[in-house]
Amino acid sequence: MAIGVNAALFAVKFWAGLITGSVALMADAWHTLSDSISSIFIVIAAKLASKKPDKEHPFGHGRWELIASLIIAFLLGMIGYEFLKDSIDRFQNGESVVYGTMALIITVASVLIKEVLAQYAFYLGRKHDNPVIAADGWHHRTDSLSSVIVLTGIIVTRFVDGLWWMDSVLGVLCALAIFYAAYQIMRKAISKILGEEPNQEFIDELRAKVKKIYNNDLKLHHFHLHNYISQQELTFHFMLDKDTTIEKGHDMATVIEEMIKESYGIEATIHIEPLTQDARLVP
């Protein structure tokens, strides 16, 4: 659905841009078309990510979705650069644009439609904890925001004369909005690829659950979360009295790993350390 809607919006915006000669409307149109391209990448990435783990990829293929996010960010960056350059050239040449009523109507419709698509993508991204769908939501959102910028300029020029530079400024602002979206998408994808520390709320909750099981502070620390999208791997350390047998320590680690799997759907790997006098200071 999103691909068809974006294609239709692109055609209408592109037509309006050709009629008015507006670089801002043209930038907005191509930004909208890039949404269709990103949606196609999402479909491809989802297909690749659904493949089961194999010998070469024991953690599955879920990170194809992160790769797709990076590709979307790159496309956005390229689009932003082109329209930033065009806007600066138009400003230097002193070119002006006269917007008509049709441009106003098309831009208002674009704002409303794109924001609806953005909210729906954000909802699906939260529901399925899927970064590539959320990235697509940001793509819709920036398209909506860039349309708001264009809409503001159209309204202002209808009431104020002499703003020949307005279209160039709007084009620059649209390009900056595109750059910001690319940055947000790339930052989140790279963070997940590099590996993250779980948030403090999760760590505190996990420590409380473990303490409830063994009625003892095992000094859980050194947390790392490895996000493969289709599955997550958690590694951390805990401490036991040095007189605890290997068998006992292994049994305790197994119980905790099973609890984490049942409670959070996360595969855990635990490293056991001896509890020394200095180690007692670990929070």
Q: What is the CATH number of the domain that holds 233?
A: 3.30.70.1350
Do residues 160 and 224 share a domain? no
In terms of Cβ atoms closer than 10 Å to its own Cβ (0-12, 13-18, 19+), residue 34 is buried
Do residues 132 and 267 share a domain? no
Q: How far is CA 155 from the centre of its chain?
A: 32
Do residues 115 and 155 share a domain? yes
Do residues 176 and 210 share a domain? no
Do residues 51 and 183 share a domain? yes
For residues 256 and 210, is the Cβ–Cβ distance under 8 A? yes
* Residue-by-residue pLDDT tens, the chain, 283 positions: 667 777 777 787 778 777 777 777 777 777 677 667 767 777 777 776 677 767 776 566 667 777 888 888 888 888 788 778 878 887 887 776 767 777 778 888 888 887 888 888 888 877 877 766 777 777 677 777 777 877 887 788 777 777 778 878 877 887 887 788 788 878 878 877 776 678 888 899 999 999 989 888 888 888 888 777 667 888 899 998 888 899 999 999 999 999 999 988 888 999 998 887 555 545 5
229: left (phi over 0), alpha (psi -120 to 50) or beta: left
The reported pLDDT for the residue numbered 237 is 92
- Is the full-model pTM beyond 0.85? no
**Count of domains for the chain:** 2
Query: Residue 185 belongs to what domain range?
Result: 2-192
The Cα diameter of the chain in Å comes to: 85
Q: What are the backbone angles phi and psi of residue 123, rounded to the nearest 5°? A: -60, -45
Burial per residue of 165-187, b for 16 or more beta-carbon CB atoms within 10 angstroms, e otherwise? ebbbbbbbbbbbbbbebbebbbe
Do residues 44 and 170 share a domain? yes
Do residues 33 and 105 share a domain? yes
Task: List all residues 6 or more positions away from 240 whose beta carbon is below 8 Å from its beta carbon.
Answer: 218, 248, 249, 252, 272, 273, 274, 275
Do residues 229 and 179 share a domain? no
161: left (phi over 0), alpha (psi -120 to 50) or beta: beta
In terms of Cβ atoms closer than 10 Å to its own Cβ (0-12, 13-18, 19+), residue 112 is exposed
The reported pLDDT for the residue numbered 78 is 84
Give the Cα separation of 77 and 72 in Å (integer).
9
Choosing from 164, 192, 220, the residue where a domain stops is 192
Q: Residue 239's closest CA among 272, 263, 270?
A: 272
The reported pLDDT for the residue numbered 257 is 93
Would the CA dihedral through 216, 222, 227, 228 be positive or negative?
Answer: negative
User: 10 Å Cβ neighbour count for 113?
Assistant: 19
Choosing from 134, 167, 192, the residue where a domain stops is 192
Give the Cα separation of 159 and 163 in Å (integer).
10
Do residues 221 and 165 share a domain? no
Strand positions, DSSP E, the chain: 221-227, 232-241, 267-275
Do residues 137 and 267 share a domain? no
Do residues 188 and 204 share a domain? no
Do residues 174 and 227 share a domain? no
DSSP 197: P
Choosing from 137, 163, 192, the residue where a domain stops is 192
CA distances from 71 to 68, 118, 119, 220, 277 (A): 5, 19, 22, 37, 50
Q: Find the CATH number of the domain harbouring 122.
A: 1.20.1510.10
